[in-house]
Amino acid sequence: MGHPDSGFQGSANMTVVASELYNSIAAGKGETGELNFVFSPFSILSVFKMAQMGARGATRAEMDRHLSSSAPLDVPALRGPAAPWETEPPIELETANRMYVKSSLASDAQFLHFASEVLAKLKCEAVTADFTDSEATAASINAFVEEKTKGHIKELVPASLLTSYTRMVLVNALYFKGPWAFPFSPESTSLGSFCMKDGETGCIHEQQVKFMRQRLDMGFGYYEGETAKVLSLPYADYRFSLYVFLPQDISQFEQQLLQRPEAIEELVSRVDSSSSSGLVLDLSMPLVKLPAEQNQVDLVEVYKRLGVRLMFDADEADFSGISRNETLYVSSFLHQADLTWNEEGTEAAAATAMMIAAASAFIPKREISLAVDRPFLFQVRVRDTTNSHSLVLLAGRVIDAKAAQ
């Protein structure tokens, strides 16, 4: 389970960083022609923050420009004093951090100081590993990830990336399962038209896909802006919501996000402050399934596109906060995620691994209709009830709805 802390200050910075990560991942997908994707900003930044705590000098400064070093990544308690109630059926949110360390490094005084700080601030456990036995160590890491993601992610770290030069592997795993506050009826699910691409005279690439449908007169958020319509749907625990961003033109919208990553946060703020009390929503939304094997990301390239480069340079990286006995750098940075939503709710998992190596009252209600029938972006967020901040657990895009079913 996530940390027992009830708040997660600093997440406003994290949500903008989530948009920057989205932009960079989308750029990479554009190069490969991949249309749909999902990733977990929370999982990626959990591992990034572990490494950030051991970085020094210019490497640390570059990492701090990407993610404020003062921004903690705490998830709210779902049980216990901070949440003395239980939802029925319950939300499941589990996160786990683990550090695999070469035995010789584990006795380094500088490393012990670094590890104690990481373990205290990020609830991370440390285990020793023999990286010369790459097959066994990779199997151990992957078994941990598979267990924590409830079988969704099985092969995160290939043995080929572990060598005698590997000193440490930082790992985060996340699992989320959330029933909708207002489930859809499977009997209402039916085929409908999803427009992949619009032309001047109308839709020029249409698909027939399965849509789940329902009418809601409460519990949702809706905002219609100049650039996009935005919908928020609550899960059984109202701190968790799915946000769907439905632009008229997804390419133009993503270009706008590239110029202003904070634009997503502004839309979320708008929909959160809007009232649905005078609305009845006629909603149709496609079923979505984005499997892990189709959502593997090389984060080295993602971060280089964002201008974070020094940590990957064997000659320039400074991780002397981990060890002063040898020069360390990030040799690999991997991520996988999967997500499914259907009439009952959403289930998702994600995992990230970073390899660090040695260089070597009765009011008439206005009816609205929203058909999520063209390319869209989405985020799953959890909100801190003590302030207006939220964490982006998962984010992604669907352009080819048929491939997502």
Rounded Cα distance, 63 and 345, in Å: 36
Mean pLDDT score of the chain: 89
Q: Which of 178, 176, 177, 180 is nearest to 234 (CA)?
A: 180
pLDDT score recorded for residue 70: 72
pLDDT score recorded for residue 304: 96
Do both 344 and 381 map to the same domain?
Answer: no
pLDDT score recorded for residue 203: 81
pLDDT score recorded for residue 293: 94
Which CATH number is 17's domain given? 3.30.497.10
pLDDT score recorded for residue 2: 37
Show Cβ contacts of residue 388 under 8 Å, excluding neighbours closer than 6 positions: 269, 272
The pLDDT-based confidence of 239 (bands split at 50, 70, 90) is confident
- Residue 337 resides in a domain: yes
Q: Per-residue pLDDT tens for 16-45? A: 899 999 999 999 998 888 999 999 999 999
User: H helices of 291-405, where?
Assistant: 299-305
H/E run at residue 62: helix 57-66
pLDDT score recorded for residue 106: 87
The pLDDT-based confidence of 364 (bands split at 50, 70, 90) is low
- Residue 2 resides in a domain: no
Do both 65 and 99 map to the same domain?
Answer: yes
Average pLDDT over residues 256-284: 90
Q: Which string of DSSP letters, residue by residue, matches 8-56?
A: -TTHHHHHHHHHHHHHHHHHHHHHHT---EEE-HHHHHHHHHHHHTT--
Q: Where are the beta strands (DSSP E) in 200-327?
A: 202-216, 221-224, 228-234, 240-247, 279-286, 288-290, 296-298
Task: Please tell me the pTM assigned to this model.
Answer: 0.90
Show Cβ contacts of residue 369 under 8 Å, excluding neighbours closer than 6 positions: 281, 282, 283
- Residue 5 resides in a domain: no
- Residue 38 resides in a domain: yes
pLDDT score recorded for residue 77: 58
Average pLDDT over residues 260-288: 91
The three-class DSSP label of residue 188 is helix
Do both 22 and 112 map to the same domain?
Answer: yes
- Residue 403 resides in a domain: no
Domain count, the chain: 2
Instruction: Give the tokens for residue 8.
Output: 């997660």
Higher pLDDT pick, 369 / 150: 150
The answer, yes or no, to whether residue 379 has pLDDT greater than 80, is yes
Hunting for tokens 């040898």 — which residue is that? 326
Range of the domain at 77: 11-179+290-358
